[in-house]
Structure 1
Amino acid sequence: MVLVDPVQEDYSVPWPPNRPLTRDDLDRIPDDGHRYELIDGALIMTPAPTRRHQRAVAALYRLLFAAAPPELEVLFAPFDVVISADTVIQPDVLVAHRADFTERDLPKAPLLAVEVLSPSTKGVDLMLKWAKLEAAGCTAYWVVDPDTPSLIAWEMRDGAYAQVAKVTGDEVARLTVPFDVTLVPADLTS
């Protein structure tokens, strides 16, 4: 934690204290190798993921990349998704129209955001990110638990997320949004 001397004009942190942070503040954070996100102006730092987490992310990326139509792009974290000036997230895997990307970020909700759960991020992924992506109109949100292994998938229906799949182990999920893909949770970590 960095303490700020109120007499000193030059802050020891890249933004003034005592206010919610914005995308501009996030851009001023030095590149220190950590993954930073903003949710409602609150800074969230995510520790390095486990090997099992990374294996699941890599398997999801390969599966989605192979199935994606040419007009869609599949990326993995870290890559900024700007929901609003005070909410910038980095889904573990995301899918969006190629035309919607800038070189720097995705300035709107993706078609699909996928989070692979870790003990340190489970609450943020299942509550905060889920709610922010739903409100922003992200068409589909998946959460993978590599420890179980399991998948829960939601799709936007009448402005709210509806659960469309919940599978564990060797069970098969056949999903159609944003494109057809078949997923077996156990295959993501084997």
Structure 2
Amino acid sequence: MFAHGDRLTRRDLETISDERRRYELVDGTLLVSPSPRPLHQRVVARLLAALTPVCPADCEVLPAPVDVVLDEFTVMIPDVVIGRRETFTERALVGVPVLAVEVVSPSSRHIDRFLKPARLALAGCPYYWVIEPNEPALSCFRLVDGEYVLDGEATGDDVVRLEVPYRLELRPADLVSTY
């Protein structure tokens, strides 16, 4: 489909019609992920239920797949994204999100723990969270002087209490629970 070694753009990404996988770009490099599993989607659904009531009126919280266009060569799809309403277009969130959340899968561990936060920090995304569903664990990071610092974390039945970006209490075990 694309020549080996080419730096891909947002326009190239839009030509891919395969909906069985998730396609993202980081600095022109194509990342391909399999469709998420039920545990992954359960965490996303529980997190949406927790974030939606505290999301301010000038922002919107959405689940993947929503393209986050940081520049012509970087288009990411966080598992959950909060953005200012004016940054959403009909096709994507264009610009820096307020919060990006990744639910780690075995195939995405390095990308979610290192590649995506590095690129989002460079873009100026103020908050980045990582959820490990198999532990379960939640790590909440805040951007300080261009780097993410741990703002709160919890595992299992412990509770993480946050004041920013929203006042919220989360228990990782509740995010994976089947009730």
Letter in 2 for 1:59: R
2:25 to 20, 33, 38: 38
Whose radius of gyration is greater, 1 or 2?
A: 1
Unaligned runs of 5+ in 2: none
Query: Residues 95 and 113 of structure 1 are in contact (CA less than 8 Å); yes or no, is this contact kept in structure 2?
Result: yes
CA displacement, residues 74-132 of structure 1 (integer Å, 9 cap, x when unaligned):
00100000111111000000111111111111111100000000000011010100100
1:140 aligns with 2:140: no
Residue pairs, 1:164-179, within 5 angstroms:
164-179=151-166
How far apart are 1:159 and its partner, in Å? 2.4
Unaligned runs of 5+ in 1: 1-12
TM-score by length of 1: 0.89
1:125 to 77, 98, 112: 112
Deviation larger for 95-104 or 27-36: 27-36
Number of the residue aligned with 1:6: none
How far apart are 1:16 and its partner, in Å? 4.1
Number of the residue aligned with 2:101: 114
Deviation larger for 52-61 or 176-185: 176-185
CA displacement, residues 21-60 of structure 1 (integer Å, 9 cap, x when unaligned):
1101101112443210011211111101121111001100
Distance 2:150 2:166 in 1: 17
Distance 2:137 2:42 in 1: 14
Distance 2:161 2:25 in 1: 32
Number of the residue aligned with 2:76: 89
Count of equivalent residues: 177
How far apart are 1:133 and its partner, in Å? 0.5
Distance 2:92 2:16 in 1: 16
Residue pairs, 1:1-190, within 5 angstroms:
13=1, 15-190=2-177
Letter in 1 for 2:58: E
Deviation larger for 173-182 or 74-83: 173-182
